[in-house]
Amino acid sequence: MQVVVIGAGPAGLMCAEVLSGAGHSVAVYDRMPSPARKFLMAGRGGLNLTHSEPFERFVSRYGKAAARLRPSLEAFTPGDLRAWADGLGAESFVGSSGRVFPKAMKASPLLRAWLQRLTDRGVSLHLRQDWLGWDDEKLVFEQEKRFTIQADAVILALGGASWPRLGGDGGWKTILEAEGVPVKPFQPSNVGFNTGWTQLFTERHAGTPLKTIALTFGGKTVRGEVMLTRHGVEGGAIYALSAALRDAIVRHGHADLVIDLRPDLNAGQVISKLGRASPKDSLSNRLRKALGLTPTAIALMHETGATDVKAVTVRLTGVQGLDRAISSAGGIALEAVSDSFELKALPGVYAVGEMLDWEAPTGGYLLQACFSTAVMAARAIANSAQA
Ligand X SMILES: Cc1cc2nc3c(=O)[nH]c(=O)nc-3n(C[C@H](O)[C@H](O)[C@H](O)COP(=O)(O)OP(=O)(O)OC[C@H]3O[C@@H](n4cnc5c(N)ncnc54)[C@H](O)[C@@H]3O)c2cc1C
Please report, as ranges, the residues that interact with ligand X according to CB under 6 A. 6-12, 29-32, 37-39, 41-42, 45, 47-48, 130-131, 157-159, 162-163, 167-168, 171-172, 326-327, 353-354, 364, 366-367, 370
Query: At a CB cut-off of 8 Å and minimum separation 6, what does 240 contact?
Result: 215, 222, 224, 361, 362, 363
φ, ψ at 223 (rounded to 5°): -95, 150
Q: What is the CA radius of gyration of the chain?
A: 23
Contact in structure between 94 and 100 (CB atoms under 8 Å): yes
Enclosing H/E stretch for 146: strand 145-149
Closest CA to 215 of 286, 288, 300: 300
φ, ψ at 50 (rounded to 5°): -165, -165
Quick one: DSSP state of residue 228? E
Minimum CB separation from ligand X for residue 168, in Å?
3
Nearer to ligand X, 125 or 248 (CB): 125
Nearer to ligand X, 162 or 296 (CB): 162
Minimum CB separation from ligand X for residue 223, in Å?
19
Nearer to ligand X, 168 or 232 (CB): 168
Minimum CB separation from ligand X for residue 175, in Å?
8
How far is it, in rounded angstroms, from Cα 351 to Cα 131? 14
Minimum CB separation from ligand X for residue 167, in Å?
2
Minimum CB separation from ligand X for residue 304, in Å?
29
Nearer to ligand X, 107 or 287 (CB): 107
Using CB atoms within 10 A of its CB, is residue 368 exposed (0-12), middle (13-18) or buried (19+)? buried
Minimum CB separation from ligand X for residue 362, in Å?
6
CA 329 to chain centre: 9
Minimum CB separation from ligand X for residue 85, in Å?
12
CA 29 to chain centre: 23
Contact in structure between 85 and 47 (CB atoms under 8 Å): no
Minimum CB separation from ligand X for residue 132, in Å?
7
Nearer to ligand X, 32 or 319 (CB): 32
Nearer to ligand X, 97 or 313 (CB): 97
Minimum CB separation from ligand X for residue 159, in Å?
2
Nearer to ligand X, 8 or 153 (CB): 8
State the alpha helices, DSSP H only, in the chain: 10-21, 37-44, 55-60, 66-75, 78-87, 108-120, 172-178, 199-205, 236-240, 242-252, 267-275, 283-291, 295-304, 365-386
How far is it, in rounded angstroms, from Cα 325 to Cα 346? 30
Nearer to ligand X, 47 or 125 (CB): 47
Nearer to ligand X, 45 or 209 (CB): 45
Nearer to ligand X, 241 or 259 (CB): 241
Minimum CB separation from ligand X for residue 364, in Å?
5
Residue 255: which region, alpha, beta or left (left: phi > 0; alpha: psi -120 to 50)? beta
- For every residue of 339-382, DSSP letters joined together read TT-BBTTSTTEEE-GGGBS----SSSHHHHHHHHHHHHHHHHHH
